[in-house]
């Protein structure tokens, strides 16, 4: 029997999701996603032509450093993705490696999503799509086998929850005709101002272990817990900043020979909040290292998170 659904706005904030002993503040944001790729030139062609990234900077290989490129939105200094070239890196197999499942670009409006869909269809690139109730999402695969989600959120007033506070998701068909209609006659000009990293989704080996790191220690709320083999966690009542699944639980973790997620970044409001999160992870037994730009923590599958503070200088 399906649970009765309530409007998201009908429940107070404290009743949305399952809260950890110490919760992350609502004012977090996801920072740069660092990826190891086999060919920088190949990836840049895809990320610029198909996804619409602007090239913000590029560095050659040398002095022990891999060639790299910073990608973001034209006119903004914020680096959304940094590509690190690793010639010969193994491509990502389908559900064959623990680590990154996908990262997701959040567009500001439905019209932006419509322009993106029309652009990708014209490029003749395969595009998957779903309506998740709280969002409308599309999916592409990059040259190294990484999945990239490009989506837009519905307003929270249109989200649904159960009486227990679980945010409701779905895998319904996307109303592509409606999305395209919302785009009007305006053409795609690359990622629009206001595009952010909306969330990331990881293949993990165990949901209890994933919850121990990301929920109990780090401090994300569990927003959705009844999906088969997955937990969605977020801060501030967001549907999810992270997806955690066990759909590839019997697979090995990504290694240094593979195209992989090198690290992801999360910005916290201040150094005190950042250091408190790092202290919780360290107290729980996880590897934590102090770096000049923040605190690096590693989960049970080698997924690395750099905790950063808005008050510190961005590098």
Q: Is the pLDDT of residue 118 over 50?
A: yes
Q: Is 19 exposed, middle or buried (0-12, 13-18, 19+ CB in 10 A)?
A: middle
Q: Is the pLDDT of residue 235 over 70?
A: yes
What pLDDT digit, counting tens, does each position of 37-83 carry? 999 999 999 999 999 999 999 998 887 788 999 999 999 999 999 99
pLDDT of residue 1: 62
Identify whether the C-beta of residue 203 lies closer than 8 Å to the C-beta of residue 99: yes
pLDDT of residue 313: 44
Q: How many CB atoms lie within 10 A of CB 88?
A: 8
Residues 6+ positions from 263 with CB-CB distance below 8 Å: 34, 296, 304, 305, 306
CATH of domain 5-309: 3.10.180.10
pLDDT of residue 217: 98
pLDDT of residue 315: 41
Contacts 24+ apart (CB under 8 A), 205-208: 205/98, 205/246, 205/249, 205/253, 205/300, 205/301, 206/246, 206/249, 206/300, 207/231, 207/244, 207/245, 207/246
Percentage with pLDDT > 70 across the chain: 98
Identify whether the C-beta of residue 305 lies closer than 8 Å to the C-beta of residue 266: yes
Over range 150-179, report the average pLDDT: 97
pLDDT of residue 242: 98
- Band of the pLDDT at 314, cuts 50, 70, 90? very low
CA distance 154 to 135: 5
pLDDT of residue 312: 53
What pLDDT digit, counting tens, does each position of 184-204 carry? 999 999 999 999 999 999 999
Domain boundaries in the chain?
Answer: 5-309
Identify whether the C-beta of residue 72 lies closer than 8 Å to the C-beta of residue 56: yes
- Write the DSSP string, 139-153: EEE-TTS-EEEEEEE
Over range 288-314, report the average pLDDT: 91
- Write the DSSP string, 248-294: TTTSPBP-TTB-EEEEEEEEESSHHHHHHHHHHHHHTT-EEEEETTE
pLDDT of residue 98: 96
Burial pattern 201-237, b for ≥16 Cβ within 10 A else e, equals bbbbbebeebbbbbbbbbbbbbbbbeeeebbbbbbeb
pTM (predicted TM-score): 0.96
Largest CA distance in the chain: 61
What pLDDT digit, counting tens, does each position of 245-293 carry? 999 999 999 999 999 999 999 999 999 999 999 999 999 999 999 999 9
CA distance 13 to 235: 11
Closest CA to 139 of 95, 107, 104: 104
- Band of the pLDDT at 137, cuts 50, 70, 90? very high
pLDDT of residue 95: 77
Q: Is the pLDDT of residue 2 over 80?
A: no
Residues 6+ positions from 86 with CB-CB distance below 8 Å: 36, 37, 38, 66, 259
């Amino acid at each position: 029997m399906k649970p009765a659904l309530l409007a998201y706005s009908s429940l107070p904030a404290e009743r949305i999701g399952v809260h950890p002993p110490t919760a992350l503040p609502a004012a977090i944001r996801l920072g740069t996603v660092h990826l190891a790729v086999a060919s920088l030139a190949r990836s840049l062609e895809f990320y610029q032509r198909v996804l619409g990234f602007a090239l913000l900077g590029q560095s050659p290989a040398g002095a022990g450093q891999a060639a790299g490129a910073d990608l973001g939105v034209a006119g903004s200094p914020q680096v959304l993705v940094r590509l690190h070239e690793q010639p010969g890196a193994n491509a990502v197999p389908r559900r064959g490696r623990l680590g990154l499942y996908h990262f997701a670009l959040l567009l500001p409006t439905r019209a932006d999503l419509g322009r993106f869909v029309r652009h990708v269809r014209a490029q003749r690139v395969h595009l998957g799509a779903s309506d998740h109730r709280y969002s409308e999402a599309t999916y592409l695969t990059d040259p190294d086998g990484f999945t990239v989600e490009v989506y837009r959120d519905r307003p929270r007033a249109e989200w649904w929850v159960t009486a227990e506070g679980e945010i409701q998701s779905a895998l319904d068909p996307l109303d592509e005709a409606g999305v395209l209609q919302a785009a009007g006659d305006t053409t795609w000009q690359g990622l629009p101002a206001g595009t952010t990293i909306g969330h990331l989704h990881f293949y993990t080996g165990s949901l209890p272990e994933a919850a121990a790191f990301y929920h109990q220690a780090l401090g994300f709320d569990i927003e959705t817990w009844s999906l088969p083999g997955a937990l969605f966690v977020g801060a501030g009542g967001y549907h999810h900043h992270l997806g955690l699944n066990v759909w590839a639980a019997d697979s090995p973790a990504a290694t240094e020979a593979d195209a992989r997620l090198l690290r992801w970044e999360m910005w916290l409001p201040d150094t005190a909040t950042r250091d408190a999160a790092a202290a919780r992870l360290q107290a729980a037994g996880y590897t934590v290292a102090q770096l000049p730009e923040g605190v690096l923590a590693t989960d049970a599958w080698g997924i690395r998170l750099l905790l950063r503070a808005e008050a510190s200088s961005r590098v």
